[in-house]
Amino acid sequence: MTSENHFDKFKIDKLEVFYGDFRAIKNVKMTIRSNAITSIIGPSGCGKSTFLRAFNRMNDLIPNTVTNGQVIKDDVDIQKLDVVELRKCVGMIFQRPNPFPKSIFDNVAYGPRAHGLKSQAQLEEIVERSLRQAVLWEEVKDVLQRSALSLSGGQQQRLCIARALAVEPDVLLMDEPASALDPIASLKIEELLQELKRAFTIIIVTHNMQQAARASDFTAFFNMDEDRAGYLVEYDETIKVFTNPEKRLTEDYISGRFG
């Protein structure tokens, strides 16, 4: 699944996140490859979502949170970037679809409008492009003024992906994006990810081992220590992690012996 033209989109060095006195993740050092899907797996409570939020500084929104270490994006420390610009470049898709109670069109146009775009022609172009990228255009092109809440769960999640794409990010963060969906809708999301990785770097948290094995190019396995701090156990190409892991702990988790 991987290709020769990957470069490092992110470099993470000695990353730690504290919520007050509690250390949620400790000493994470790894790279994230561009135009690839990286899955973050591990038992509940091991800091997967905290790690994911570190890429666009969403943890900053949680009171008493302290982040140490570095997350470097395209050779720039994200702490030095304007946070609004960072979150425009690094979009977030949540576990449950969360469309706004607006029309399908207005959901996708929301971001560009918030960034000051007023041209209706340009907005229409962006909405169509984003819905096409999210493989939703053909299903909704005739009902763009209908409420987004009238869509099915799977359609709502693809709409949320289109909404994120509308502000032209280069990275998509996904926190269990298919866990609230039925198997058919989940598979559609996985197929969509394979299309999107041609243009985007995708990092996905998932509890679904089969989904991680099917959909991702790289897999990072996290666990927690005796103080419940999350740490990186193993990170490699997905095929290696799932068929020939270096660590016994990884093998035990993937085979269902714990977690």
CATH number of the domain to which 42 belongs: 3.40.50.300
Residue 12 covered by a domain: yes
- H-type helices in the chain, by residue range? 48-53, 83-89, 104-114, 120-133, 137-140, 153-165, 183-196, 209-215, 238-243, 248-254
Check pLDDT > 90 for residue 206: yes
Mean pLDDT for the chain?
94
* Residue at 37: amino acid letter: I
SS3 assignment, position 15: strand
What is the helix (H) or strand (E) element at residue 234, kind and residue range?
strand 230-237
pLDDT of residue 236: 98
Quickly state the pLDDT bin for 2 (edges 50, 70, 90).
Answer: very low
Quickly state the pLDDT bin for 29 (edges 50, 70, 90).
Answer: very high
pLDDT tens digits, one per residue of 114-130: 999 999 999 999 999 99
pLDDT of residue 178: 86
Q: Which comes out higher in pLDDT, residue 257 or 71?
A: 71
pLDDT of residue 5: 57
Residue 259 covered by a domain: no
pLDDT of residue 4: 46
- Could you tell me if 165 and 91 are in contact, meaning their C-beta atoms sit under 8 angstroms apart? yes
Residue 176 covered by a domain: yes
* Closest C-alpha to 157, from 141, 184, 177, 140: 177
Orientation angle between helical segments 183-196 and 153-165, nearest 10 degrees:
20
pLDDT of residue 258: 77
Residue 3 covered by a domain: no
Residue 106 covered by a domain: yes
Residue 123 covered by a domain: yes
Spatial separation of the C-alpha atoms in residues 228 and 21, rounded to whole Å? 12
pLDDT of residue 181: 86
Check pLDDT > 90 for residue 138: yes
- The string of DSSP codes covering 174-225 is EESTTTTS-HHHHHHHHHHHHHHTTT-EEEEE-S-HHHHHHH-SEEEEEEE-
SS3 assignment, position 44: coil
pLDDT tens digits, one per residue of 161-197: 999 999 999 999 999 988 888 889 889 999 999 999 9
Residue 201 covered by a domain: yes
Pair type for strands 230-237 and 218-224:
antiparallel
Spatial separation of the C-alpha atoms in residues 215 and 158, rounded to whole Å? 16
Spatial separation of the C-alpha atoms in residues 247 and 19, rounded to whole Å? 29
Residue 183 covered by a domain: yes
pLDDT, average across residues 35-56 = 97
Q: Give the domain extent around 23.
A: 8-254
pLDDT, average across residues 84-107 = 95
Check pLDDT > 50 for residue 199: yes
pLDDT of residue 51: 98
Q: Which of 94-98, 128-132, 239-243 has the lowest mean pLDDT?
A: 94-98
Spatial separation of the C-alpha atoms in residues 57 and 59, rounded to whole Å? 5
Three-state SS sequence of 84-100: HHHHHHEEEECCCCCCC
What domain count does the chain have?
A: 1
pLDDT of residue 259: 63
pLDDT of residue 3: 43
Check pLDDT > 70 for residue 1: no
